[in-house]
Amino acid sequence: MSKGILYDATKCIGCRQCEQACAAENGLPYDDKIAAQEITSAHKYTAILTKDDKFMRKLCMHCQDPACCSVCPVGALKKTEPGPVTYDKSKCMGCRYCMAACPFGVPKYEWEKAIPGVRKCIMCSKRVAAGKQTACAEACPVGATIFGDRDTLLEEAKKRIHDNPNTYLHHIFGESEVGGTSVLLLSSVSFSNFGFRTDLTERALPLYTYQVLSRIPDFIPLFGTMLGGIYWITHRREDVAAAEAKESEEKGGAR
């Protein structure tokens, strides 16, 4: 069964322990300066947003049918059966189509690095595969972020709204947006207050991608495949050159 995350903004106390746990899990820097940044970035996969004494959490929504995966020509992004959308830097060709396709503006590029990649929350895919909860859910001291089966979390979210109609906005963000997401959000105020789009279709975005691709000549997808091949060949040459250089050094040392 697909896993998911439920974030309840009405329970959040803004302690940012989810941010700190995420940084530790992914080997990212974290200090007071980074904690104060209320945006996600290549070095900050999740962020707590504050406005008028209200909180909201921003992270990859892990769409059920992700647009980022559908446009990636080399399969660097992948939706896994347990729920997380993972990223393989070794496959990435740096086209950044995923950044343009994401309706939530999540993927971020490492512009400052010599060999850049795309960075985003991967919902602790290794932990999830091992049957553990995500680092952020484990770290939350008040249960504002919980992890579990998506269907169970969805029912829990509906129950909270039903039992406390005056506390919650009567909408579960992620239930149906762009075909549904593995991350579900509850709030007492409009999600637009925190920059979330409220005009999103309920249809999975890759359906539009497939419709467009079905109407363009075969040579255009082939061109994308060629680019991927060129990228692989280039890196293969680099790997071979590195291996030859290492072998030459070892031979020289042996003499």
Distances (CA, A) of 237 to 86, 224, 232, 240: 26, 20, 9, 5
Confidence of residue 38 (pLDDT cuts 50, 70, 90): very high
Instruction: Give me the pLDDT at residue 152, please.
Output: 98
The residues facing 41 across adjacent strands are: 44
Instruction: Give me the pLDDT at residue 43, please.
Output: 96
Instruction: Give me the pLDDT at residue 208, please.
Output: 64
Residues 71-130 pLDDT 10s: 999 999 999 999 999 999 999 999 999 999 999 999 999 999 989 999 999 999 999 999
> 14 — alpha (psi -120 to 50), left (phi > 0) or beta?
left
Instruction: Give me the pLDDT at residue 205, please.
Output: 82
Task: Quickly name the fold that domain 3-209 has.
Answer: Alpha-Beta Plaits (3.30.70)
Confidence of residue 246 (pLDDT cuts 50, 70, 90): low
Instruction: Give me the pLDDT at residue 241, please.
Output: 54
243 burial level (CB within 10 Å; 0-12, 13-18, 19+): exposed
Average pLDDT over residues 186-211: 86
Instruction: Give me the pLDDT at residue 170, please.
Output: 97
Cα dihedral 59, 63, 67, 68 in deg (nearest 10): 40
* Helix boundaries (H) for the chain: 17-26, 32-35, 67-71, 97-101, 125-129, 135-139, 150-163, 206-213, 219-254
pLDDT of 247 higher than 50: yes
Cβ–Cβ < 8 Å for 206, 28: no
Cβ–Cβ < 8 Å for 71, 224: no
SS (H, E, C) 49-89: EEECCEEEEECCCCECCCHHHHHCCCCCEEECCCCCEEECC
Domain residue spans in the chain? Answer: 3-209, 216-254
The residues facing 148 across adjacent strands are: 4
| Joined tokens for residue 209 | 């991608």
Residues 135-170 pLDDT 10s: 999 999 999 999 999 999 999 999 999 999 999 999
Which residue matches tokens 């991927």? Answer: 228
Average pLDDT, the chain: 88
Instruction: Give me the pLDDT at residue 253, please.
Output: 55
Instruction: Give me the pLDDT at residue 1, please.
Output: 76
